[in-house]
């Protein structure tokens, strides 16, 4: 459902800023990951168009940079929605009904897990253990940890 083009939260891509950042950091040991983290932090995601710029600065192929971005799930590939709901799918939360909770929330929020709603209001993402297993099912909603969630509570917290 989420699309990079015409995303309501899409910021103007700034290749110059990415090049400057990569150039400043390229002397580090193993600079690629720190550069990608810095881009992710500065822009809120790693735009597809940043990859050839970073590859050029580090003298890598675009495929090498793409491979690293794809391998690490930390890197957001599209801008996040206004609210970010990360729901735990690891074992303890699964045992306490996380999958049903996810289904209920997908229906109520109108967005599939792993996607951002078309209006840019909600990003709904899986995580794998938030260290809150004793209070499962757990979720991180706009950076705040919550436990023993049901769909109604999660939706209220997400400002649906």
Choose between 55 and 96: whose C-beta lies nearer to ligand FES. 96
105, 153 contact by CB (below 8 A) = no
Could you give the CA distance from residue 120 to residue 89 in angstroms, rounded to a whole number?
23
DSSP of 63-91: HHHHHHHHH-TTS-SS---SEEEEEE-SH
Q: Does 132 bind ligand FES (CB under 6 A)?
A: yes
Among 20, 56, 74, 91, binds ligand FES (CB under 6 A): 91
State the helix-helix crossing angle for 32-43 and 15-25, rounded to 10 degrees.
140
Binding-site member from 17, 60, 108, 133 for ligand FES (CB under 6 A): 133
Q: Does 101 bind ligand FES (CB under 6 A)?
A: no
Task: Examine residue 139 and tell whether it contacts ligand FES (CB under 6 A).
Answer: no
Q: Residue 40, interface with ligand FES (CB under 6 A)?
A: no
Residue 24 or 73: the one with the smaller Cβ distance to ligand FES is 73
Of 144, 126, 128, the C-alpha closest to 87 is: 126
User: Where along the sequence are the contacts to ligand FES (CB under 6 A)?
Assistant: 88, 90-93, 129-130, 132-133, 136, 138
């Amino acid at each position: 459902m989420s699309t990079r083009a015409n995303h309501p939260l899409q910021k103007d891509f700034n290749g110059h800023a990415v090049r400057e950042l990569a150039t400043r950091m390229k002397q580090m040991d193993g600079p690629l990951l720190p550069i990608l983290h810095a881009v992710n932090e500065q822009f809120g995601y790693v735009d597809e168009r940043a990859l050839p710029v970073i590859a050029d600065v580090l003298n890598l192929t675009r495929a090498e940079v793409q491979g690293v971005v794809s391998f690490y799930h930390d890197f957001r590939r599209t801008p996040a929605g206004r609210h970010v709901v990360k729901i735990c799918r690891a074992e303890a939360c699964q045992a306490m009904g996380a999958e049903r909770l996810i289904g209920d929330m997908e229906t109520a929020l109108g967005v599939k897990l792993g996607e951002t709603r078309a209006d840019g209001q909600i990003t709904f993402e899986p995580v794998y253990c938030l260290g809150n297993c004793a209070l499962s099912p757990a979720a991180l909603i706009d950076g705040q940890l919550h436990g023993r969630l049901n769909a109604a509570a999660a939706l209220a917290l997400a400002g649906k």
